[in-house]
Amino acid sequence: MAIRSAALLALLVLVAFCAGRPADAAIGVNWGTVSLHRAPPSVVVDLMRANRISKVKLFDADPGVLRALAGSGIQVMVGLTNGELASVAGSQAAADAWVAQNVTRYVGRGGVDIRYIAVGNEPFLTSYQGQFQSYIIPAMTNVQQSLVKANLASYVKLVVPCNADAYESASVPSQGVFRTELTQIMTQLAAFLSSSGAPFIVNIYPFLSLYQNSDFPQDYAFFEGSTHPLVDGPNVYYNAFDGNFDTLVSALGKIGYGNLPIAIGEIGWPTEGAPSANLTAARAFNQGLINRITSNKGTPLRPGVPPADVYLFSLLDEEQKSVLPGNFERHWGIFSFDGQAKYPLNLGLGNSVLKNAKEVPYLPSRWCVANPARNLDSVADHMKLACSMADCTRLYYGGSCYGIGEKGNVSYAFNSYYQQQKQDPKSCDFDGLGMITYLDPSMGECRFLVGVDDSKSSAVASCGGGCCGVCCGLWVLAVWVFMYLKVMGSA
């Protein structure tokens, strides 16, 4: 009897311990891959695990990324892209095939812990002019049926990440409403989410409010209080996040779903590419956000109720993203493209600072710079070519390489192109104006990158395809407990 009691106690300890593991934390990250300097997915997965990040939101269902996530214990949101919506909305067979290809094949013992499928990405964005609107509910209906067939409907939930421009307010959060043309579909969407137990997902960007409006109070974008608080009856708003969040709460309330859980699909602050985008501001915003979320304070309309999940945007910089919104679009990462932390940040997940990626397969330590022996009068066209192909956004106003001088600008542009071309010697010629050097030409905060050799790969995960560390040891104990109790029966 004593042995049996000890076994039961061990099992209870296991349950209590593993239930409190970081997998239950609310802070996750977006992992975008619009880059030509992509570290192997296994390196990125190890980076997330080293930082105890247990939730990740993807924008598609890349096979290499999903294979790397297998056995990691990280909860995953995969994305059905906007370009796939029409096909899946119009055909149950297409939905079945998509789920089989991108979900079913990866889940199971030792597989990928897929919790959500994002049906589209900001499909109601004003600039899309309604082109995806009619596909959303049919696509969700078909994918839901596919999940039912695969016996996954109770585990994998469907969501639709929405841009905050889906709702609006005349002046204060309590007046929040959905855009008139979206009222019907938002009611259908909220009903769908409510019936399945999934959250409404919204992307909130106080940075963009500050960037796009010169009259926006800068301190209102952060979390340290504001000299321009927004008064809404008995509620006072001291930061843009709370005001935006409660505007959505009000909008949901007006269509009958005021208690629907809300998750933040994207939120963050870029580190360069605009006057208000820098390391200091990014750290202040993201740390303030994390502290706010982990305090469980909630908002005036939902006191004590933090968002269901918060996915920081983003994990890594993506130097191939469009710069039409601004040069900052390529610099949202809390890590640089190669997994090196940009600034100290406590994610509230057990590490006081961010840990850098390890075993990154860099190309050799060599750079392409302007040839000091050549006149640069004819360099303009070469720079234009280099920057049209590679990323030169750090050279412009608000960038970490702004002001390094003409030769510095030329060298940075040449090197960016050279690294993008995987250090092909021909890519550093520029009619004799470029030369290869083995001396790092970085200047102060302006870092001349060395590319990543993405032809190489490393081990997927240090724990293989199963559980890891102490919790894994406890699961072994649990198996022993189960077998013991089964043999002992009622003894």
Torsion of CA 433, 439, 443, 447, to 10 degrees: 90
E strand segments, 183-252: 200-203, 230-232, 235-237
320 by DSSP, 3-state: which?
coil
CA distance 419 to 367: 8
Q: What is the 3-state secondary structure (H, E, C) of 43-111?
A: HHHHHHHHCCCCEEEECCCCHHHHHHHCCCCCEEEEEECHHHHHHHHHCHHHHHHHHHHHHHCCCCCCC
CA distance 491 to 478: 19
Selecting among 122, 272, 318, 319, the annotated active-site residue is: 122
Pairing of strands 75-80, 55-58: parallel
CA distances, 275 to each of 260, 280, 360, 474 (Å): 37, 12, 31, 51
Pairing of strands 200-203, 262-267: parallel
Residue pair 290/282 in contact by the 8 Å Cβ criterion: no
- Residue 173 one-letter amino acid: P
CA distance 392 to 330: 10
Residue 123 sits at the vertex; the CA angle it makes with 117 and 129, to the nearest 5 degrees, is: 170
Please state whether the peptide bond connecting residue 458 to the residue before it is cis, i.e. omega within 30 degrees of 0: no
Selecting among 84, 266, 272, 329, the annotated active-site residue is: 266
Helix axes 92-99, 136-149, angle to 10 degrees: 60
Pairing of strands 235-237, 230-232: antiparallel
Residue pair 371/308 in contact by the 8 Å Cβ criterion: no
Chain centroid offset of residue 321 CA:
14
CA distance 221 to 212: 12
Q: Based on the residue annotation, tell me whether 445 is a catalytic residue of this protein.
A: no
Residue pair 112/73 in contact by the 8 Å Cβ criterion: no
- Residue 27 one-letter amino acid: I
User: How many Cα atoms within 13 Å fall on the side-chain side of residue 192?
Assistant: 24
Environment class of 61 (CB within 10 Å of its CB; exposed 0-12, middle 13-18, buried 19+): buried
Q: Based on the residue annotation, tell me whether 266 is a catalytic residue of this protein.
A: yes
CA distance 327 to 321: 9
Tell me the catalytic residues.
Answer: 122, 266
